[in-house]
Structures are given as C-alpha cells and as structure tokens.
Amino acid sequence: MRLFLCEKPSQGKDIARVLGANQRGSGCFKGTGVSVTWCIGHLVEPAPPEAYDERFKRWALEDLPIIPSTWRVHVKQDTLEQFTIVKQLLAQSSELVIATDADREGEMIARELLDLCQYRGAVLRLWLSALNEVSIRKALTCLRPAAETERLYHSALARSRADWLIGMNMSRLFTLLGRRSGLSGVLPVGRVQTPTLRLVVDRDRHIERFVAIAHWSIELRLIALEQTFTAKWVAPDRATDEAGRCIRQAVAQQALTALRQAQHAQVTELRTQRIKDAAPLPFDLSTLQETCSRKFGFGVQETLDIAQALYETHKATTYPRTDTGYLPESMWAEAETVLEALVLSDPSIEKLIQTVDRGRRSRAWSDDKVTAHHGIIPTLEPFCLDRLSKDERTVYELIRSHYLAQFLPLYEYERTQVRLDCASNGLLAQGKRIIEPGWHRALKPDQAFTEDDASERSQVLPALAEGDQCWVQKVELKALKTQPPKAYTQGELIRSMKGVARVVTDPRLKATLNDTAGIGTEATRANIIAGLLKRGYLYKKGSSVHASQAALTLVDSVPSAIADPATTAIWEQAFDKIEAGQLTLDDFIAKQTCWVSQLVEHYRTTTLAIHSCSGPNCPLCGAPMRQRTGKHGTFWSCTRYPECRGALPLAAEGNDMTRHRKRRRSKPYG
C-alpha cells in the first residue's frame, strides 16, 4: 500500500480527493491501494532534560550544561491518538509519500515520525506549491526521490537542536543567576526570541536617548507661466550639518529678510531625468506582512493566518511561507491559465486584464533566484470570491495586483530638479511628471506607493527653461527639530528580522553576513513576535510595539553574543549550508555544544545586574508591569496595555499582590 503523509487534515482531504481515496477512516482516507493520513502539525517533540536524567527535573547550576549524547524525541500527549493511527498505517505500508508542507519544518515533521517508528519502506516526496486540483495532479506526476530533500531534514534538525541547547541551558543558567540577585520567575532565553527582543530594546533606547537638534528651513511659493510651485532655500555649507540642514538661526533669518524683499527668482540650472521603474516582484511572506502592517494595520500573525486561509481553505493563492518573490521560468507558460482564472473569479477586473501584455516576461521569472518555494501568486483555478472575508479579500487583491503588474508596462516618469537664484540665495525645486502609469494601473489607491508622492518632489513643475524668471508669492520660515526614529511596527520588525544585516553595525560581523541574512524563518517570525507579546516582553501601543521592563532585564542579563541578532543570522546561514551540503549536521552540533559549554562556564559565577525598573506582575493577566505617569502621578501599568488595563499604585512593588487581585478598573491609574 502507498501511504501519503500530510501535515494537516485539510491537506489530506484535498490530496485524497484527487487520488480517489474517498473512504473516510479514523484519522485517514482510504482508497484502492492508497491511504492518506496527516500529522496535525508536530506529533512528536524534542524530549525535555528530565527525559535524559531524572535529576534534571530540579534546576541546579552544577548540572549545567545539559548536553544529550543521543538526541531523543517523544510523542506529544495531546496528539497521541493520531500518532497511533499514523504508526499503524506506516506498519501496513510498503511505500510512503511525504506530502507535508514543502519546507524544512514539513520535512522534519514527517521524517522524525519515520525515524521514531523505524519505517524501512520506500520513501518519495510530493512537492506542492498550491492545493488546487490542477497543482496537485501536476505534482503527483513528478514525485521526487526522498534523498533529494533529506538535507532539508538535517537543516531543520540543526535548528531544533540549536534551539534546545540554547533554550534549555541558557534559560536555566540565567534564571538561577537571576534568583541569586532577587529576581523571581523565569528568564527565558531563546536563539531567535532574544535577538528579536534586542532589536526592539535597541530601538526603544535610541528613541528614549534621542536629543533633538533645532534647524531652520525656508519654503517659497513661486509663480511661473501662471502655475504655482514650491521651492526650498539651500543653506550655505558653513551653516549646515552633515544632512544639509541649516543649524544656524541667524543665517536663516538673514536669508529670510533678503528673500522677502525680493520679487523674482531666476532659473540658473534645470535637470530632467527620465526614470523607468520595473514592477515589484510577487510577494514573499515577510514583504506581504510588512506591507499589510504598514498599509492596513494588520498584525504579522494576522497576515500569516489570512495568507494560510487563502492557500488552504479557499485555494485562491499559492503556498505562503516563502522567502522569495521570484517564480520558476516554467510557470510563465501557465500565465494564460492564471489570468483566465482571475477573470472567472472576479469579472470586475476583466477590463484591466484585457490591457495586459500576456507575452511580457518580467524579471520575476528567474530559476536562479527561486529557492525551495516561489513567490505568492494566484492559483490556476477560479474560486468563489464571495466566500472571502473583508480582510481576506484585501490581502488577496494585494497578491493579485502584484501578479498582474508583471504583465503591464514599466512605470515611467520624469524627475526634474530646478535650481534658482533669489537675492543671491540658492533655491531648489523638484517635480515629477508621470509619462506612463504602467503597472501602477494594477494597484488600487490604498495599494499604491505613496511615500514618494507625499514629498514636494511629487509636484508638477511648469515648463521652465534656464534664464526664466519666477514671481515670489510667499516666503515662510519654519523652525524645525530633528525627529527620533519611529518605534517598530510589527511589519517593520519582521523586515528587520529578515534583513538583519542592515541593522548590524559591527564591521566584522557585517562582513560575514549575507545581504539577505535574517533571524528566524518565514514560518516562525510571526510566532516569535506573537509569543513575545503574549508573555509580556513586548507590548503594543497603537500600531507600534515596545519592549517591557522585563525585556530590558532579559536583554541586559544574557551574553551579548546570544542577544546579538548577527549571531543568530550567522547560524541561519549555517542552516542554509547544511541544506546545500556544505556543512554536516554533526559538525554544526559539535560546534554549538562547545560554545554553549564555554558560555555556561564563563557565566556560572556571574552576578546579574537586574534592571532597576522591574515591576510586579499584572494582577489581571500575569504579564510584567512597567511604570507610567498619568495625571494623578506615577503608577504600575500592565505592559500589555491597552489589551489589558491592569494597574497598581506605585507602592505595590512586591510579588504579594493578594490584596489587589480583586481590584479591577476600567481605566489605569492616572
């Protein structure tokens, strides 16, 4: 019997329908000579330290480091029934087809089961990028030998074991050191979560320590050829900082007086540049999450859940957990079918699709740049658009627009810079004129790229020439201050996690990192952020996220190498090398084991400097609290505010909150 092992029941149902396995069994579907079952995610998980030795139930410094000689997994109790079903089906099967998600985690979900159940039959791999019928049938005709994807399993094991070594040893070590310093509770240290916290902590501290610098700007309204436009005064070098801002008020005031007395400004130089912008690539998951966060205010987990529903439930888009926006060149031949399916799903876009160039091949199709998965695009088959929720439709239309953009012309515009002289002062005016909207026609107004349009460069300038004179209509001095960096939104945090090389300042580490080096994976980043929010290490404030006092304590306590995002990014590159066959699993784990052992020995006798502002736990939800100041003074506020409005008076700094447990307020103190 051939057995198909899927990751989720919904996948199993889709594949079983195509295979004709229509007989529903307990935890499976059966047909003639074929069965389909599923894992419900991970059915097994890494064994805890006490599974290796009973004494590890008690946390003690003398027992560290804990280094397994032979790694173990055990069956998760809440899915024991499904594990038993899968094990029985494996015993009855002569051939297995791994049909879990086509990524590292999917590979590990299946192969850990095969190892635990000691399966010895033939193994093949079904590699799916979409769950619609056409895609499943196509994938079934080209099953891969299991050996082709085995290194994915080794890469996933490397990640899992590195997480275990760091999490189990460092969490115990720093929790025990924290207790010596009077800190109650657990200090959880994670290979990915701690560097993620570090990103937010660093940004929050940068904002907190930011010192504003005063500067002055002069803006002029000019008229030429019966058209009004805006120009800005160009301050002399002696009065500017490195960013070109005028930091000497006296110089700005002197220029203001001269400009207000002038009647004309003369064009001294004019430069026009024609710019052609290619269409953005189809989405990868991180870019989709960042875009939905910025444009629609969606949380990153919310975006992932929607993208997963579009893939699994509605069969509207392809596999979402991808790290690239490029497409295989072979998929270009399927474009005609995809475009026809788009019209059948949504007749309202027929007029737009009639304008696309179906023979156009954009930069998106490139075999060299496709990884294990390709960009997120619409599927080959129509679906019922009316079944989508409002948010699902918003994300679907965004994905669809980026696919349609591949078949539309380049976006072309002219960028013009005009330099003028006014009362011996230099002025600069910038303008933009759209020549060909091109692929922008595929975008709805809320999807358009408006960052550039928000600047004065988006204005349309009159048809000026060198020597032309412009009337001075208005002159205005603006007293400004430099602004601190903005706090992270969830989408921007995902972006920094993915491209961590951009935020690393150490030149040695920066040289080691690839330009695309990141922390976490497309499949895990949203869960990492969600977990930090749930445990109170991050909290939301409007659309931004901030680090709680507990996060400051954690980041300040652990070794800088563990908290440094560059370290984890280097490990992620090691996982890629394992997948590529350039590094073995055993060599990687040996290096990790040595490193963790050295850290334990180095920090075993350290005294932690507990953050002075650490507060009590929230009496409502248990999350850490932080000090806030309101109209009635300073008080303790839940770090999950406004989701949780728990609050305590400042005097309540101990952990004995019994007398405050029953006190619930609709508003915080202050």
Number of residues that make up the chain: 670
| Tokens describing residue 272 | 């026009």
In the predicted structure, residue 651 carries a pLDDT above the cut 60 = no
In this predicted model, what pLDDT tens digit does every residue of 569-622 receive, in sequence order?
A: 888 889 989 999 999 999 999 999 999 999 999 988 887 765 544 466 777 876
What is the average pLDDT across 173-180? Answer: 87
What is the domain partition of the chain in residue ranges? 2-142, 159-209+490-603, 214-278+411-481, 285-407, 615-670
**pLDDT the model gives residue 446:** 60
In this predicted model, what pLDDT tens digit does every residue of 329-349 receive, in sequence order?
A: 888 999 999 999 999 999 999
pLDDT band for position 181 (50/70/90)?
Answer: confident
**pLDDT the model gives residue 657:** 33
**pLDDT the model gives residue 627:** 63
What is the average pLDDT across 308-322? Answer: 94
Residue 603: how many CB atoms within 10 A of its CB? 18
> Is 536:550 a contact under the CB 8 Å cutoff?
yes
Which residues on adjacent β-strands are paired with residue 635?
A: 628, 649
Report the CATH fold assignment for 159-209+490-603: Topoisomerase I; domain 2 (1.10.460)
In the predicted structure, residue 554 carries a pLDDT above the cut 70 = yes
Closest C-alpha among 9, 35, 5 to residue 313: 9
The Cα–Cα gap between 229 and 459 comes to 7
In this predicted model, what pLDDT tens digit does every residue of 16-37 receive, in sequence order?
A: 999 999 999 999 999 999 999 9
In this predicted model, what pLDDT tens digit does every residue of 65-105 receive, in sequence order?
A: 999 999 999 999 999 999 999 999 999 999 999 999 888 88
Q: Which parts of 213-287 are beta strand (E)?
A: 214-224, 227-234, 264-277
Give the architecture-level CATH label for domain 2-142: 3-Layer(aba) Sandwich (3.40)
In the predicted structure, residue 453 carries a pLDDT above the cut 70 = no
The Cα–Cα gap between 133 and 17 comes to 9
Angle, CA of 127, 398 and 313, to the nearest 5°: 45
> Is 22:29 a contact under the CB 8 Å cutoff?
yes
The Cα–Cα gap between 547 and 201 comes to 6
- Mean pLDDT over all residues of the chain? 88
**pLDDT the model gives residue 296:** 94
- Assign domain 285-407 one CATH number from 3.40.50.720, 1.10.290.10, 3.40.50.670, 1.10.3720.10: 1.10.290.10
**pLDDT the model gives residue 654:** 35
What is the average pLDDT across 370-385? Answer: 90
| Cα dihedral 524, 529, 533, 536 in deg (nearest 10) | 90
Give 333: exposed, middle or buried? Use CB within 10 Å, 0-12, 13-18, 19+: exposed
Closest C-alpha among 185, 244, 177, 178 to residue 215: 244
Class of CATH domain 214-278+411-481: mainly beta
In this predicted model, what pLDDT tens digit does every residue of 232-275 receive, in sequence order?
A: 999 999 999 999 999 999 999 999 999 999 999 999 999 999 99
Residue 377: how many CB atoms within 10 A of its CB? 25
In this predicted model, what pLDDT tens digit does every residue of 483-498 receive, in sequence order?
A: 999 999 999 999 999 8
**pLDDT the model gives residue 448:** 57
Which of 119, 153, 311, 319 is catalytic? The answer is 319
> Is 522:587 a contact under the CB 8 Å cutoff?
no
H helix runs in 506-622, sequence order: 507-512, 525-534, 549-557, 560-563, 565-580, 585-603
319 in catalytic set: yes
In this chain, the answer to whether the domains covering 2-142 and 214-278+411-481 adopt an identical fold is no
In this predicted model, what pLDDT tens digit does every residue of 45-61 receive, in sequence order?
A: 999 999 999 999 999 99
